[in-house]
Amino acid sequence: MASSTPAEEVPVMQVLDKAHYFTQALVPVPAAVPYPPLAAPSSLRLRTRVVSLTHNNVTYAALGFLVHWWDAHPLPAGTPAPYNDADKYGRVSAWGYAEVLESTLSDGPQKGDFVFGYLPLATLAQDVEFRLHDQVPGHLVATSAYRAKLMPFYNNYVVVERGSDVAAQLRAAIEKKEQQQGNAAAAEDGLGFDALYGVLFECGHLVTKFMFDTEQPIHPGMGPDAPSKNPWTKDMADLTGATVVLLAPASKTALGTAFEMQKRVKQGASANGPKRVVGAASEASRAFVQGTGMYDATVSTAETPDAEFLSKKLGVDAAAGDKLVLIDCGGRAGVGRAWAAAFRKLCPPGRFVMVGIGSEAGEHSPADVMKRFAPDPNKSDEEREREKTEAPWYVQVNTGDLRQRAASQYGWTAVFEGADAAYAEFKRAGVQGFKIRWGVGMEGVAEGWERLAKGKTSPEEGMAFLL
Protein backbone atom coordinates (compact mmCIF):
# COMPACT_ATOMS: atom_id res chain seq x y z
CA MET A 1 0.00 0.00 0.00
CA ALA A 2 1.35 3.44 -0.86
CA SER A 3 2.05 6.02 1.82
CA SER A 4 -0.43 8.76 2.60
CA THR A 5 1.37 11.46 0.61
CA PRO A 6 -1.34 13.30 -1.34
CA ALA A 7 -1.36 12.44 -5.03
CA GLU A 8 -1.46 16.14 -5.95
CA GLU A 9 1.69 16.91 -3.97
CA VAL A 10 4.50 16.59 -6.49
CA PRO A 11 7.79 16.40 -4.54
CA VAL A 12 10.45 18.97 -5.39
CA MET A 13 14.20 19.01 -4.76
CA GLN A 14 16.90 21.64 -5.08
CA VAL A 15 19.63 20.73 -7.58
CA LEU A 16 22.93 22.62 -7.91
CA ASP A 17 25.53 22.82 -10.65
CA LYS A 18 28.54 21.28 -8.86
CA ALA A 19 31.07 23.50 -10.61
CA HIS A 20 29.02 26.66 -9.99
CA TYR A 21 27.03 25.79 -6.92
CA PHE A 22 25.31 29.14 -6.58
CA THR A 23 23.46 28.14 -9.78
CA GLN A 24 20.35 26.25 -8.67
CA ALA A 25 17.14 24.77 -9.97
CA LEU A 26 13.99 23.50 -8.25
CA VAL A 27 13.31 20.18 -9.93
CA PRO A 28 9.93 18.42 -9.54
CA VAL A 29 10.04 14.62 -9.46
CA PRO A 30 6.47 13.53 -10.31
CA ALA A 31 7.58 9.95 -11.02
CA ALA A 32 8.43 9.50 -7.32
CA VAL A 33 4.80 9.48 -6.14
CA PRO A 34 2.86 7.67 -5.02
CA TYR A 35 5.68 6.25 -2.93
CA PRO A 36 5.85 2.46 -2.98
CA PRO A 37 5.70 0.55 0.32
CA LEU A 38 8.99 0.76 2.24
CA ALA A 39 10.52 -2.69 1.75
CA ALA A 40 14.18 -2.20 2.73
CA PRO A 41 14.94 -3.60 6.18
CA SER A 42 16.00 -1.36 9.08
CA SER A 43 15.02 1.75 7.15
CA LEU A 44 13.19 5.02 7.62
CA ARG A 45 11.44 7.02 4.95
CA LEU A 46 12.21 10.62 5.92
CA ARG A 47 10.53 13.77 4.74
CA THR A 48 12.29 17.05 5.58
CA ARG A 49 10.12 19.45 7.57
CA VAL A 50 12.27 22.19 9.20
CA VAL A 51 15.77 23.14 8.03
CA SER A 52 18.11 26.12 8.06
CA LEU A 53 20.54 27.71 5.63
CA THR A 54 23.81 29.30 6.78
CA HIS A 55 27.23 29.91 5.23
CA ASN A 56 28.04 26.44 6.55
CA ASN A 57 25.93 25.05 3.70
CA VAL A 58 28.09 26.93 1.21
CA THR A 59 31.12 25.18 2.70
CA TYR A 60 29.40 21.84 2.10
CA ALA A 61 28.97 22.74 -1.55
CA ALA A 62 32.56 23.98 -1.90
CA LEU A 63 34.10 20.88 -0.31
CA GLY A 64 31.55 18.40 -1.60
CA PHE A 65 33.91 16.89 -4.18
CA LEU A 66 36.56 16.37 -1.50
CA VAL A 67 34.64 14.93 1.44
CA HIS A 68 31.68 13.26 -0.32
CA TRP A 69 29.02 15.72 0.85
CA TRP A 70 27.50 15.60 -2.64
CA ASP A 71 26.92 11.88 -2.02
CA ALA A 72 24.84 12.39 1.13
CA HIS A 73 21.61 12.62 -0.86
CA PRO A 74 22.12 11.34 -4.42
CA LEU A 75 19.93 12.23 -7.37
CA PRO A 76 17.00 9.78 -7.25
CA ALA A 77 15.80 7.58 -10.04
CA GLY A 78 13.40 9.50 -12.22
CA THR A 79 15.26 12.81 -11.97
CA PRO A 80 14.22 14.68 -15.12
CA ALA A 81 16.76 15.55 -17.80
CA PRO A 82 19.08 17.44 -17.90
CA TYR A 83 19.51 17.24 -14.12
CA ASN A 84 20.06 13.47 -13.96
CA ASP A 85 23.78 13.83 -14.70
CA ALA A 86 25.28 13.02 -11.29
CA ASP A 87 28.75 14.12 -12.39
CA LYS A 88 27.51 17.63 -13.12
CA TYR A 89 24.57 18.08 -10.78
CA GLY A 90 24.05 17.30 -7.15
CA ARG A 91 22.32 18.23 -3.90
CA VAL A 92 23.58 19.70 -0.67
CA SER A 93 22.09 19.04 2.71
CA ALA A 94 21.06 21.04 5.73
CA TRP A 95 20.53 20.46 9.46
CA GLY A 96 17.02 20.15 10.77
CA TYR A 97 14.00 17.99 11.52
CA ALA A 98 12.43 15.29 9.37
CA GLU A 99 9.16 13.41 9.73
CA VAL A 100 9.15 9.61 9.60
CA LEU A 101 6.66 8.62 6.87
CA GLU A 102 7.34 4.88 7.06
CA SER A 103 9.58 2.63 9.14
CA THR A 104 10.94 -0.92 9.05
CA LEU A 105 13.42 -0.17 11.85
CA SER A 106 12.79 -2.50 14.76
CA ASP A 107 12.84 -0.75 18.15
CA GLY A 108 13.39 2.58 16.37
CA PRO A 109 11.16 5.53 15.45
CA GLN A 110 7.92 4.72 13.67
CA LYS A 111 5.54 6.51 11.33
CA GLY A 112 4.66 9.91 12.79
CA ASP A 113 7.87 10.27 14.78
CA PHE A 114 10.65 12.73 13.95
CA VAL A 115 14.43 12.79 13.78
CA PHE A 116 17.02 15.57 13.80
CA GLY A 117 20.01 15.32 11.48
CA TYR A 118 21.57 15.99 8.09
CA LEU A 119 18.70 16.24 5.60
CA PRO A 120 18.07 16.83 1.91
CA LEU A 121 16.80 20.21 0.78
CA ALA A 122 13.68 18.73 -0.74
CA THR A 123 10.06 17.83 -0.16
CA LEU A 124 11.00 14.53 -1.80
CA ALA A 125 11.13 11.75 0.79
CA GLN A 126 14.29 9.67 1.07
CA ASP A 127 14.78 6.12 2.30
CA VAL A 128 17.75 5.67 4.62
CA GLU A 129 18.97 2.52 6.36
CA PHE A 130 19.80 2.92 10.06
CA ARG A 131 20.96 1.05 13.11
CA LEU A 132 20.45 2.05 16.70
CA HIS A 133 23.52 3.68 18.25
CA ASP A 134 25.18 0.95 20.29
CA GLN A 135 26.03 3.27 23.22
CA VAL A 136 23.65 6.23 23.26
CA PRO A 137 19.88 5.68 23.55
CA GLY A 138 17.81 7.81 21.23
CA HIS A 139 20.56 8.13 18.60
CA LEU A 140 20.64 6.48 15.18
CA VAL A 141 23.49 5.81 12.75
CA ALA A 142 22.82 5.90 8.99
CA THR A 143 24.22 2.78 7.32
CA SER A 144 23.06 3.11 3.70
CA ALA A 145 25.81 2.13 1.27
CA TYR A 146 25.84 5.54 -0.44
CA ARG A 147 26.56 7.14 2.96
CA ALA A 148 29.60 4.95 3.69
CA LYS A 149 32.21 7.54 2.70
CA LEU A 150 30.67 10.34 4.76
CA MET A 151 32.27 11.26 8.07
CA PRO A 152 30.42 9.59 10.98
CA PHE A 153 29.42 13.03 12.22
CA TYR A 154 26.97 13.38 9.30
CA ASN A 155 25.51 9.92 9.79
CA ASN A 156 24.38 10.53 13.37
CA TYR A 157 20.68 11.30 13.90
CA VAL A 158 18.71 12.03 17.06
CA VAL A 159 15.23 10.63 17.63
CA VAL A 160 12.62 13.21 18.66
CA GLU A 161 10.35 11.36 21.08
CA ARG A 162 6.72 11.64 20.08
CA GLY A 163 5.65 12.80 23.53
CA SER A 164 8.16 15.66 23.63
CA ASP A 165 7.40 19.37 23.30
CA VAL A 166 9.51 19.50 20.14
CA ALA A 167 7.43 16.76 18.48
CA ALA A 168 4.24 18.59 19.43
CA GLN A 169 5.61 21.83 17.94
CA LEU A 170 6.54 20.03 14.72
CA ARG A 171 3.11 18.40 14.38
CA ALA A 172 1.39 21.74 15.01
CA ALA A 173 3.60 23.53 12.47
CA ILE A 174 2.89 20.92 9.79
CA GLU A 175 -0.84 21.00 10.45
CA LYS A 176 -1.06 24.81 10.44
CA LYS A 177 1.06 25.04 7.30
CA GLU A 178 -1.29 22.70 5.46
CA GLN A 179 -4.40 24.46 6.75
CA GLN A 180 -3.11 27.98 6.11
CA GLN A 181 -1.45 27.15 2.79
CA GLY A 182 2.08 27.93 3.79
CA ASN A 183 2.05 30.34 6.71
CA ALA A 184 5.60 30.60 8.05
CA ALA A 185 4.26 31.85 11.38
CA ALA A 186 3.04 28.30 11.95
CA ALA A 187 6.53 27.25 13.06
CA GLU A 188 7.90 27.89 16.52
CA ASP A 189 11.11 29.92 16.55
CA GLY A 190 12.62 27.28 18.83
CA LEU A 191 12.55 24.82 15.93
CA GLY A 192 14.37 27.28 13.70
CA PHE A 193 16.88 28.05 16.46
CA ASP A 194 17.66 24.32 16.75
CA ALA A 195 18.16 23.99 13.00
CA LEU A 196 20.41 27.06 12.90
CA TYR A 197 22.46 26.65 16.06
CA GLY A 198 22.18 23.06 17.31
CA VAL A 199 25.08 21.52 15.41
CA LEU A 200 27.18 24.66 14.99
CA PHE A 201 27.02 25.35 18.73
CA GLU A 202 28.37 21.88 19.37
CA CYS A 203 31.54 22.81 17.50
CA GLY A 204 32.21 25.68 19.91
CA HIS A 205 31.40 23.47 22.88
CA LEU A 206 33.78 20.73 21.77
CA VAL A 207 36.53 23.22 20.99
CA THR A 208 36.25 24.93 24.37
CA LYS A 209 35.80 21.82 26.51
CA PHE A 210 38.04 19.25 24.83
CA MET A 211 40.42 20.99 22.45
CA PHE A 212 41.43 23.57 25.05
CA ASP A 213 41.68 21.03 27.87
CA THR A 214 45.12 21.65 29.37
CA GLU A 215 45.40 18.20 30.97
CA GLN A 216 44.30 16.04 28.03
CA PRO A 217 43.85 18.24 24.95
CA ILE A 218 41.96 16.54 22.13
CA HIS A 219 43.40 17.08 18.67
CA PRO A 220 40.74 18.62 16.38
CA GLY A 221 42.20 17.95 12.92
CA MET A 222 40.74 15.95 10.06
CA GLY A 223 41.70 12.30 9.61
CA PRO A 224 43.53 9.70 11.69
CA ASP A 225 46.98 11.06 10.86
CA ALA A 226 46.18 14.67 11.82
CA PRO A 227 47.87 14.53 15.25
CA SER A 228 51.13 13.28 13.80
CA LYS A 229 51.10 15.76 10.89
CA ASN A 230 50.18 18.84 12.91
CA PRO A 231 50.70 18.80 16.68
CA TRP A 232 48.26 20.17 19.24
CA THR A 233 50.13 20.36 22.51
CA LYS A 234 49.28 21.16 26.13
CA ASP A 235 51.08 24.47 25.75
CA MET A 236 48.98 25.35 22.71
CA ALA A 237 45.81 24.36 24.58
CA ASP A 238 46.58 26.43 27.65
CA LEU A 239 44.20 29.41 27.85
CA THR A 240 45.44 30.73 31.20
CA GLY A 241 45.17 34.52 31.09
CA ALA A 242 44.92 34.52 27.30
CA THR A 243 42.98 36.90 25.10
CA VAL A 244 40.75 34.97 22.70
CA VAL A 245 39.89 36.81 19.46
CA LEU A 246 37.13 35.47 17.21
CA LEU A 247 36.96 36.38 13.51
CA ALA A 248 33.48 36.30 11.93
CA PRO A 249 32.12 36.73 15.50
CA ALA A 250 28.50 37.04 14.32
CA SER A 251 28.55 33.53 12.86
CA LYS A 252 26.62 30.75 14.61
CA THR A 253 29.81 28.82 15.36
CA ALA A 254 31.56 31.88 16.79
CA LEU A 255 28.62 32.81 19.03
CA GLY A 256 28.53 29.29 20.43
CA THR A 257 32.27 29.38 20.99
CA ALA A 258 32.08 32.79 22.69
CA PHE A 259 29.26 31.60 24.97
CA GLU A 260 31.31 28.59 26.08
CA MET A 261 34.54 30.61 26.37
CA GLN A 262 32.84 33.06 28.71
CA LYS A 263 32.26 30.20 31.12
CA ARG A 264 36.01 29.65 31.14
CA VAL A 265 36.58 33.39 31.70
CA LYS A 266 34.37 33.25 34.80
CA GLN A 267 36.28 30.22 36.07
CA GLY A 268 39.45 32.28 35.98
CA ALA A 269 43.13 31.45 35.81
CA SER A 270 42.80 28.72 38.43
CA ALA A 271 40.83 26.73 35.84
CA ASN A 272 43.11 27.74 32.94
CA GLY A 273 40.54 30.24 31.74
CA PRO A 274 41.19 33.16 29.37
CA LYS A 275 40.92 36.73 30.65
CA ARG A 276 38.76 38.09 27.83
CA VAL A 277 36.92 37.18 24.62
CA VAL A 278 37.05 39.73 21.79
CA GLY A 279 34.96 39.83 18.61
CA ALA A 280 36.78 41.11 15.53
CA ALA A 281 33.98 42.15 13.21
CA SER A 282 33.33 44.04 10.03
CA GLU A 283 31.72 47.43 10.49
CA ALA A 284 28.47 45.99 9.11
CA SER A 285 28.16 43.43 11.91
CA ARG A 286 30.00 45.13 14.77
CA ALA A 287 26.90 46.67 16.41
CA PHE A 288 25.10 43.31 16.43
CA VAL A 289 28.17 41.50 17.77
CA GLN A 290 28.55 44.00 20.60
CA GLY A 291 24.81 43.82 21.36
CA THR A 292 24.87 40.06 21.91
CA GLY A 293 26.74 40.61 25.18
CA MET A 294 28.89 37.56 24.48
CA TYR A 295 32.10 39.50 23.91
CA ASP A 296 34.10 41.55 26.40
CA ALA A 297 35.05 43.92 23.60
CA THR A 298 34.73 44.31 19.84
CA VAL A 299 37.28 45.59 17.34
CA SER A 300 37.08 46.28 13.62
CA THR A 301 38.73 44.02 11.07
CA ALA A 302 39.50 47.18 9.11
CA GLU A 303 42.07 48.16 11.74
CA THR A 304 45.79 47.49 11.33
CA PRO A 305 47.04 44.73 13.65
CA ASP A 306 50.21 46.49 14.80
CA ALA A 307 51.86 46.73 18.24
CA GLU A 308 49.57 49.55 19.38
CA PHE A 309 46.48 47.62 18.28
CA LEU A 310 47.75 44.54 20.12
CA SER A 311 48.29 46.35 23.39
CA LYS A 312 45.56 49.01 23.42
CA LYS A 313 42.69 47.34 21.55
CA LEU A 314 43.26 43.70 22.49
CA GLY A 315 44.91 44.27 25.87
CA VAL A 316 47.78 41.91 25.07
CA ASP A 317 51.14 42.81 26.64
CA ALA A 318 53.55 40.96 24.36
CA ALA A 319 56.59 42.03 26.41
CA ALA A 320 55.07 40.44 29.50
CA GLY A 321 54.42 37.21 27.59
CA ASP A 322 50.63 37.51 27.33
CA LYS A 323 49.07 34.86 25.12
CA LEU A 324 46.84 35.55 22.10
CA VAL A 325 44.52 32.93 20.60
CA LEU A 326 42.99 33.81 17.21
CA ILE A 327 39.99 31.68 16.20
CA ASP A 328 38.96 32.20 12.58
CA CYS A 329 35.33 31.16 12.06
CA GLY A 330 35.26 32.28 8.43
CA GLY A 331 36.56 35.83 8.34
CA ARG A 332 36.33 37.48 4.94
CA ALA A 333 38.90 38.88 2.52
CA GLY A 334 41.86 36.95 3.92
CA VAL A 335 41.83 38.85 7.21
CA GLY A 336 42.79 35.69 9.11
CA ARG A 337 45.98 35.20 7.12
CA ALA A 338 46.91 38.88 7.39
CA TRP A 339 46.32 39.08 11.13
CA ALA A 340 48.13 35.80 11.77
CA ALA A 341 51.20 37.02 9.91
CA ALA A 342 51.23 40.22 11.97
CA PHE A 343 50.64 38.54 15.34
CA ARG A 344 53.33 35.93 14.74
CA LYS A 345 55.84 38.77 14.47
CA LEU A 346 54.46 40.71 17.45
CA CYS A 347 54.04 37.84 19.93
CA PRO A 348 56.91 35.90 21.54
CA PRO A 349 57.44 32.29 20.34
CA GLY A 350 54.74 30.00 21.65
CA ARG A 351 52.46 32.87 22.74
CA PHE A 352 50.34 33.05 19.61
CA VAL A 353 48.00 30.28 18.49
CA MET A 354 45.59 30.31 15.57
CA VAL A 355 42.62 27.97 15.16
CA GLY A 356 40.75 27.62 11.87
CA ILE A 357 37.04 26.74 11.93
CA GLY A 358 35.12 26.75 8.66
CA SER A 359 36.12 28.83 5.67
CA GLU A 360 35.40 32.11 3.94
CA ALA A 361 32.00 32.16 2.28
CA GLY A 362 31.73 32.38 -1.48
CA GLU A 363 31.78 30.29 -4.64
CA HIS A 364 35.13 28.55 -5.13
CA SER A 365 36.20 26.13 -7.84
CA PRO A 366 37.67 22.74 -6.89
CA ALA A 367 41.08 24.04 -8.01
CA ASP A 368 40.78 27.03 -5.69
CA VAL A 369 39.73 24.77 -2.81
CA MET A 370 42.72 22.50 -3.32
CA LYS A 371 45.06 25.49 -3.14
CA ARG A 372 44.11 25.82 0.52
CA PHE A 373 45.64 22.43 1.20
CA ALA A 374 48.74 22.91 -0.93
CA PRO A 375 52.06 24.40 0.27
CA ASP A 376 52.35 28.14 -0.25
CA PRO A 377 54.39 28.51 -3.48
CA ASN A 378 55.47 32.02 -2.47
CA LYS A 379 57.39 30.93 0.62
CA SER A 380 61.14 31.13 0.38
CA ASP A 381 63.42 28.26 1.35
CA GLU A 382 64.56 30.39 4.29
CA GLU A 383 60.98 30.74 5.55
CA ARG A 384 60.36 27.01 5.22
CA GLU A 385 63.50 26.20 7.19
CA ARG A 386 62.58 28.69 9.91
CA GLU A 387 59.09 27.18 10.25
CA LYS A 388 60.63 23.78 11.00
CA THR A 389 62.13 25.17 14.21
CA GLU A 390 59.20 27.40 15.22
CA ALA A 391 56.83 26.53 18.03
CA PRO A 392 53.63 25.06 16.52
CA TRP A 393 51.00 27.78 16.13
CA TYR A 394 48.14 26.69 13.81
CA VAL A 395 45.54 23.93 13.64
CA GLN A 396 42.35 23.45 11.62
CA VAL A 397 39.25 22.09 13.35
CA ASN A 398 37.09 19.28 12.05
CA THR A 399 34.08 18.94 14.33
CA GLY A 400 33.42 15.32 13.44
CA ASP A 401 36.94 14.14 14.23
CA LEU A 402 37.02 16.23 17.41
CA ARG A 403 33.78 14.62 18.58
CA GLN A 404 35.04 11.16 17.66
CA ARG A 405 38.31 11.57 19.57
CA ALA A 406 36.56 13.06 22.59
CA ALA A 407 34.18 10.08 22.64
CA SER A 408 37.13 7.66 22.45
CA GLN A 409 38.62 9.39 25.49
CA TYR A 410 35.51 9.98 27.62
CA GLY A 411 32.75 7.81 26.11
CA TRP A 412 29.89 8.65 23.76
CA THR A 413 27.32 9.14 26.48
CA ALA A 414 29.41 11.72 28.33
CA VAL A 415 30.16 13.66 25.13
CA PHE A 416 26.56 13.78 23.89
CA GLU A 417 25.03 14.49 27.31
CA GLY A 418 27.55 17.27 27.94
CA ALA A 419 26.85 18.86 24.55
CA ASP A 420 23.07 18.58 25.03
CA ALA A 421 23.21 20.23 28.46
CA ALA A 422 25.44 23.04 27.20
CA TYR A 423 23.19 23.68 24.19
CA ALA A 424 20.07 23.76 26.40
CA GLU A 425 21.74 26.47 28.49
CA PHE A 426 22.69 28.42 25.35
CA LYS A 427 19.16 28.14 23.94
CA ARG A 428 17.61 29.37 27.20
CA ALA A 429 19.95 32.38 27.17
CA GLY A 430 19.24 33.10 23.51
CA VAL A 431 21.14 35.54 21.31
CA GLN A 432 20.30 39.18 21.93
CA GLY A 433 19.22 41.04 18.80
CA PHE A 434 18.84 37.83 16.75
CA LYS A 435 15.65 36.81 14.95
CA ILE A 436 14.49 33.98 12.72
CA ARG A 437 13.65 34.78 9.11
CA TRP A 438 11.18 32.06 8.11
CA GLY A 439 10.63 30.85 4.58
CA VAL A 440 8.06 28.37 3.34
CA GLY A 441 8.43 25.53 0.88
CA MET A 442 11.15 24.93 -1.67
CA GLU A 443 10.52 28.36 -3.15
CA GLY A 444 11.59 29.77 0.20
CA VAL A 445 14.73 27.62 0.15
CA ALA A 446 15.59 28.83 -3.36
CA GLU A 447 15.19 32.44 -2.23
CA GLY A 448 17.41 31.76 0.78
CA TRP A 449 20.12 30.20 -1.37
CA GLU A 450 19.97 33.24 -3.64
CA ARG A 451 20.44 35.49 -0.61
CA LEU A 452 23.55 33.53 0.35
CA ALA A 453 24.86 33.72 -3.21
CA LYS A 454 24.40 37.49 -3.41
CA GLY A 455 25.67 38.19 0.12
CA LYS A 456 22.31 39.60 1.18
CA THR A 457 22.16 37.86 4.56
CA SER A 458 22.50 39.94 7.69
CA PRO A 459 24.11 39.00 11.02
CA GLU A 460 20.89 39.75 12.90
CA GLU A 461 18.90 37.13 10.99
CA GLY A 462 18.94 33.39 10.61
CA MET A 463 17.15 31.65 7.74
CA ALA A 464 14.91 28.73 8.62
CA PHE A 465 12.35 26.99 6.42
CA LEU A 466 9.14 25.08 6.94
CA LEU A 467 8.69 22.50 4.17
Transcribe 222-270 into DSSP letters: SSTTHHHHS---HHHH--TTPEEEEESTTSHHHHHHHHHHHHHHHH-GG
Whole-angstrom distance, CA of residue 84 vs CA of residue 74: 10
Q: What's the confidence (pLDDT) of residue 375?
A: 58
Q: What's the confidence (pLDDT) of residue 63?
A: 76
Whole-angstrom distance, CA of residue 353 vs CA of residue 363: 28
CA triplet 48, 40, 64: central angle to 5 degrees?
A: 50
Whole-angstrom distance, CA of residue 208 vs CA of residue 457: 28
Where does residue 50 rank: exposed (0-12), middle (13-18), buried (19+ CB within 10 A)? buried
Q: What's the confidence (pLDDT) of residue 21?
A: 87
Whole-angstrom distance, CA of residue 49 vs CA of residue 195: 11
Phi, psi dihedral angles at 68 (to 5 degrees): 70, 20
Low-confidence stretches of the chain (pLDDT beneath 50)? 1-7, 370
Beta bridge pairs of residue 280: 247, 299
Please name the residue ranges forming H helices in 118-248.
165-179, 189-206, 226-229, 234-237
Q: What's the confidence (pLDDT) of residue 182?
A: 59
Whole-angstrom distance, CA of residue 251 vs CA of residue 343: 23
Strand pairing of 435-440 and 461-466? parallel
In sequence order, which residues have a C-beta less than 8 Å from that of residue 86 and are 6 or more positions away? 74, 75
Question: Nearest CA to 73 among 54, 86, 56?
Answer: 86
Q: Output b/e per residue, 158-193; b: 16+ Cβ within 10 A.
A: bbbebeeebbebbeebbebbeeeeeebebbbbebbb
- The set of long-range contacts for 294-302, using a CB threshold of 8 Å and a minimum separation of 24, is 294/255, 294/258, 294/259, 294/262, 294/431, 295/246, 295/249, 295/258, 296/265, 298/249, 299/245, 301/247, 301/331, 301/332, 301/335
Strand order in the sheet with 12-17: 20-28, 12-17, 89-90
